[in-house]
Chains A and B, each alone.
Chain A
């Protein structure tokens, strides 16, 4: 059974960089887009961005200037970096999978989610 296991620092100070990693166990890494989604009480579920096994990315324009994602295919892992965090970035961050679809065409649903990592930003 395919599982996503995620980890990263849970407490940050303003202006620091958020860094999370998600590992894919028991399944293929290629043929999918690997996503980061966050959930906060005030903003609900927000899509941050995605990356495929070849490193092709798509980011939410609202966060694009601060976000970067990377993959490590040898370890079936992908990572999120979000720079210059503020209290507004406090949220539960999820990694999630969706089936590959071509660029500039409709996407696909998120069929597998990680358990989530609570990240709090506080001075």
Chain B
């Protein structure tokens, strides 16, 4: 199985400031990576696919980059509604696997 490792496990950022989450895969997954946002009490929501393509309706303060084994998600200006747990997921090969999640909070 491809192991996805996210860092940090949690981070606290002031409103309007930048938040960056990293994701590392144990094998090369090319660009086959997605990012999800899970707000408290809700199901995950797709933010990014193909490593850097925003899903329709996702605000442009969310951006992502990377390929191969190293990826990142950036929230350029944190808003209150961005408080959530963020997950990366590889879909290069089955079983599809997720990172353990990064909790983003307001400082």
Contacts and interface: CB of A to CB of B under 8 A. Distances in A.
Nearest to A35: B96
B44 A109 contact: no
Interface residues of A, number: 20
Given A58-B94, A62-B95, A116-B43, A110 B89 contact: yes
A33 to B, nearest CB: 10
Contacts of A102: none
Given A44-B101, A45-B87, A107 B43 contact: no
Contacts of A115: 42-43
Contact of B97 (A47, A58, A98, A108): A47
Interface in A71-101: 94, 98
Interface in B40-57: 42-46, 49, 55
A56 interface: no
Nearest to B53: A109
Name the prevailing secondary structure of the B interface residues.
loop
Interface in B87-101: 87, 89, 91-101
A44 B98 contact: yes
B82 to A, nearest CB: 19
Contacts of A109: 34, 46, 49, 89, 91
B78 to A, nearest CB: 23
Interface string B17-39: 00000000000001010101000
For B55, B98, B101, the residue with the greatest tally of chain A CB atoms inside 10 Å of its CB is B98
Nearest to A4: B43
Interface of A: 44-47, 58, 60-62, 94, 98, 106-111, 113-116
10 contacts: A44-B99, A47-B95, A47-B96, A47-B98, A94-B43, A107-B94, A108-B91, A113-B44, A114-B43, A115-B43
